[in-house]
């Protein structure tokens, strides 16, 4: 079993084209061509890239690589956008995967319970088989300070190694519970999903199938208030049916955990017994499920100081996720502008080469301090809709990068004004 990377490894994640389910066969067939391709072509680190079709056409030994959708090369000792050198090529670890398209039915309470469920709100739970096509490129597009995502990945891999070795819990404590907390819109839920996807890809030799089960605590608690304790138990009973197979890795994502694990010591005398019951049910279920070595609990919270202490105590790692730094904001903008160029709404221009734009981008980033990733990601659309688009429906019209950056600046100023009005 080799889940953890050696001190210095280069991980190559190879996404096969949809419907390529002959994974074992293909990883044998494509091993050498992938290594040859990476030796021949400079692949930038940390970005999902399509293979160069001209190179595949002109090199018959690489022909089978037509079955590959994209490649992602990562190396923790190098930065995003850097290239591998000759020495790095000796450290390649290949991970082949074929993304799943279906979303599973968890057969829980969404339909059955009836009372309070209005059918069109957020479902109380969701279930995906990973790696899922829904989460492709999610990891690469979540931008944090250097090393944060890698630290979480290493934590999760270490936790799984400890549990696979049946570490004695009376000697070493490891609950396999990771809590991400911080302001809303900072990417906590997305990061948990991306982490589960990463584990599915990196730990495939140990776990044949990875399941992600998301419990939307807020929706579960508000929709089925009086029943939520029972529903938590029912949901965990379903999860146990999947966990029982040791070839399955089950990542349970408890979103906005404070809704289910509200601090019992903060509950007033009038606080409904149901709130107390649901915390007790959750803690009991978590303790029971962790007896299985193939479960990882990922929890998020916008209000960590309202979480029950017993839950907090069980978390092995409590990672604060804050608002993006200026450097992160700039990178988020770069990814969005690159996407706008790829789809052809903005004219293709180099973001780095044109110093004038570089200055504008930095000014944009400075002006965006305090905005969450969620708000940042809305800005290109707002900038386009309000500040650049004419009333013509001109699908082929391309906007100059400089004009678009000006529009983005206007959209930020508008955002700040709106925020002030909401507060006053």
- Give contact residues for ligand ADP (rule: CB under 6 A): 141-144, 184-190, 300, 324, 328, 332, 373-374, 377
β-strands 209-216, 177-181: how paired?
unpaired
The C-alpha torsion from 198 through 11 and 70 to 202, rounded to 10°, is -30
Q: Which residue lies nearer to ligand ADP by CB, 14 or 252?
A: 252
Closer by beta carbon to ligand ADP, 264 or else 377: 377
Min dist. Cβ of residue 187 to ligand ADP (A): 3
Nearer to ligand ADP, 62 or 379 (CB): 379
> Is the CB of 186 or the CB of 210 nearer to ligand ADP?
186
User: Least distance from C-beta 323 to ligand ADP, angstroms?
Assistant: 9
Going by the DSSP 8-state scheme, the letter that residue 353 receives in this structure is: T
CB of 134 to ligand ADP, least distance (A): 12
Measured from the CB atom, the residue of 122 and 288 that comes closer to ligand ADP is: 122
The distance of closest approach from Cβ of residue 374 to ligand ADP in the complex, given in angstroms and rounded to an integer, is 4
- Evaluate whether 200 touches 239 at the Cβ level (below 8 Å): no
Shortest Cβ 373–ligand ADP spacing (Å): 2
> Which candidate, 243, 231, 216, 233, places its Cα nearest to that of 285?
233
Q: How many angstroms separate the CA atoms of 248 and 200, rounded?
A: 10
Query: How far, in Å, CA of 295 to CA of 159, rounded?
Result: 10
| Peptide linkage before 385 cis (omega within 30 of 0) | no
Taking the complex as a whole, the smallest distance from the CB of residue 326 to ligand ADP amounts, in Å, to 13
**In this complex, which beta carbon is closest to ligand ADP, that of residue 83 or of residue 381?**
381
Determine the Cα angle at 382 with ends 377 and 384, to 5°.
110
Beta strands in 182-291 (DSSP E): 209-216, 248-255
In DSSP terms, which residues pair with 251 in a beta bridge?
212, 296
By beta-carbon proximity to ligand ADP, the closer residue of 33 and 324 is 324
CA–CA distance, 243 with 245 (Å, rounded to integer):
5
Minimum Å gap between C-beta 406 and ligand ADP is 23
If the CB atoms of residues 144 and 236 are measured against ligand ADP, the closer one turns out to be 144
Q: What distance in Å separates the CA atoms of residue 35 and residue 48, rounded to the nearest whole number?
A: 16
> Could you tell me the smallest distance in angstroms from the CB atom of residue 296 to ligand ADP?
18
For ligand ADP, the closer CB: 56 or 153: 153
User: Of all residues in the chain, what percent are helix, strand and coil, respectively (each to 5)?
Assistant: 50, 15, 35
Q: Which residue is nearest to ligand ADP (CB)?
A: 373
Q: Would you say 247 and 209 are in contact if contact means Cβ atoms under 8 Å apart?
A: yes
B/e letters for 137-162, b = 16+ CB within 10 Å, e = fewer, are ebbbbbbbeeeebeebbebbbebbbb
Q: Could you tell me the smallest distance in angstroms from the CB atom of residue 192 to ligand ADP?
A: 8
């Amino acid at each position: 079993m080799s889940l953890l990377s050696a001190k210095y490894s280069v991980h190559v994640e190879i996404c096969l084209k949809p419907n390529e389910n002959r994974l074992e066969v293909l990883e044998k067939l494509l091993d050498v061509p992938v290594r040859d391709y990476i030796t021949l072509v400079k692949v930038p680190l940390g970005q999902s890239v399509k293979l160069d079709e001209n190179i595949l056409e002109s090199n018959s030994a690489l022909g089978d690589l037509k079955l590959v959708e994209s490649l992602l090369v990562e190396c923790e000792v190098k930065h995003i956008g850097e290239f591998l050198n000759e020495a790095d090529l000796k450290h390649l670890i290949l991970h082949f995967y074929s993304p799943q398209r279906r979303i599973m039915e968890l057969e829980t309470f969404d339909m059955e319970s009836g009372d309070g469920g209005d059918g069109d709100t957020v479902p109380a739970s969701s279930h995906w088989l990973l790696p899922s096509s829904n989460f492709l490129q999610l990891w690469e597009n979540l931008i944090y300070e250097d090393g944060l995502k890698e630290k979480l990945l290493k934590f999760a891999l270490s936790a799984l190694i400890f549990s696979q070795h049946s570490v004695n819990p009376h000697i070493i404590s490891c609950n396999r519970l990771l809590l991400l907390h911080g302001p809303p819109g900072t990417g906590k839920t997305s990061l948990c999903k991306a982490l589960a996807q990463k584990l599915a890809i990196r730990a495939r030799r140990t776990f044949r199938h990875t399941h992600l089960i998301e419990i939307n605590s807020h929706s579960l608690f508000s929709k089925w208030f009086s029943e939520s304790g029972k529903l938590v138990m029912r949901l965990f009973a379903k999860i146990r049916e999947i966990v029982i197979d040791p070839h399955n890795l089950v990542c349970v994502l408890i979103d906005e955990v404070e809704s289910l694990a509200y601090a019992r010591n903060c509950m007033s005398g009038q606080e409904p017994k149901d709130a107390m019951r649901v915390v007790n049910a959750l803690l009991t279920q978590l303790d029971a499920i962790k007896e299985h070595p193939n479960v990882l609990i990922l929890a998020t919270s916008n209000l960590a100081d309202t979480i029950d202490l017993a839950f907090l105590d069980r978390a092995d790692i409590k990672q604060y996720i804050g608002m993006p730094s200026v450097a992160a904001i700039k990178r988020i903008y770069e990814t969005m502008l690159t996407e706008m160029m790829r789809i052809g709404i903005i004219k293709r221009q180099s973001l780095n080469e044109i110093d004038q734009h570089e200055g504008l981008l930095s000014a944009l980033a400075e002006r965006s301090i305090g905005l969450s990733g969620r708000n940042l990601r809305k800005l290109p659309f707002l900038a386009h809709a309000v500040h650049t688009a004419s009333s013509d429906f001109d699908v082929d019209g391309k906007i100059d990068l400089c004009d678009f950056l000006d529009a983005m600046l206007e959209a930020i100023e508008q955002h700040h004004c709106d925020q002030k009005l909401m507060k006053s």
